[in-house]
Chains A and B, each alone.
Chain A
Amino acid sequence: MVTLVSYIVVSAALLGIGIYGLSVKRNAIRILFAVEIIVNAANINFAAFTRYLNPPTVSGQVIVFYSIAASAMEAAVGLALILVAFRLNNSIDVRKMDKLKG
């Protein structure tokens, strides 16, 4: 039986995967993947809670809409930063991005 808890469990698992990637990976693009996965885990929760607890209104869906828009913009700026980092360091390894200037 699919209940609200099932959605929370899936979302928690996605969050775990995202946190793992965020803490272990060194490749800047993979870190961005991890961030996107975490945002999506949160989106599932918003949609599930608004469906199960607050059904005639769609306020949770509105939050998901803004969240999707914001994370798309975050990806755009993040990838531009990665491009600049690659141009400066010739690498996208976050360990090598330890200089404050250039």
Chain B
Amino acid sequence: MEVTLAVPPDVVFVILATITLLAAILALQAKELIYGAIGLGISFIGIAGFFVLLDAPYLAMLQIAIYVGAVVVLILFTIMLVRREEGEEVTEKSERGEGAAGLWIAGLLAVSIAGIAALAGPNLAQTPPNAELPVSELGPVLVTQYPVPLVILALVLSAALLGALMLAKVER
């Protein structure tokens, strides 16, 4: 019997989903904000794993380089800038059952979306069609088919950079 020595994708998917969801919960529930940022980073890495499963390896690398490499660094930096010496300054206690209400809303939303998807499931594609997507596919499409969003992206980047700098600058 010939087999390929490979873990079935289902197992990888379940492990990735568990890691991603648990890390996302850690990001929101951890007592210390630093742990929250670490949880957020792990969650991003899990999502990069999903991109790899979805045959988008360049997106996975983009996700890690931009989110884990840059955004998490910026978040850590800001956390260290806004700490007060007495420790965690925001009490996360909910008033009058706000926490329960939020949980209900979020759970209802998630369950309803998942339910609709599951109902529509038989009509959707069960297995991905076999299509080899070379890595170099994304670049030409970005540049040749969507040139206008590119210029808008440049403007958004400039606006964000200058806006954030002007905001954070000490005013005199």
A residues apposed to B, CB below 8 Å: 1-10, 12-21, 23-27, 29-30, 32-34, 36-37, 40, 43-44, 47-48, 51-53, 55-59, 61-62, 64-66, 68-77, 79-84, 86, 90-93
Contacts and interface: CB of A to CB of B under 8 A. Distances in A.
B2 interface: no
A9 B117 contact: yes
Given A2-B9, A52-B124, A83-B81, A12 B117 contact: yes
Contact of A77 (B13, B25, B126, B164): B164
Nearest to B130: A55
A29 B66 contact: no
Nearest to A20: B106
A9 B164 CA distance: 35
Contact of B24 (A2, A24, A37): A37
Contacts of A68: 59, 62-63, 66-67
19 contacts: A2-B9, A2-B10, A5-B118, A5-B121, A6-B13, A9-B118, A12-B117, A16-B107, A16-B110, A19-B110, A20-B107, A21-B28, A32-B75, A52-B128, A56-B133, A57-B141, A68-B67, A76-B74, A80-B168
Contacts of A72: 66-67, 70-71
B156 A80 contact: no
A13 B114 contact: yes
Interface residues of B, number: 86
Q: Which of B43, B56, B142 has the most CB of A within 10 A?
A: B56
A26 B91 contact: yes
The dominant DSSP class at the B interface is helix
Contact of B21 (A17, A20, A71): A17
Given A5-B121, A27-B90, A65-B138, A44 B50 contact: yes
Contacts of B129: 52, 55
Contacts of B114: 8-9, 12-13
Given A40-B47, A58-B133, A68-B66, A19 B105 contact: yes
B15 interface: no
A70 B67 CA distance: 11
Nearest to A76: B164
A5 B172 CA distance: 55
A72 B99 CA distance: 28
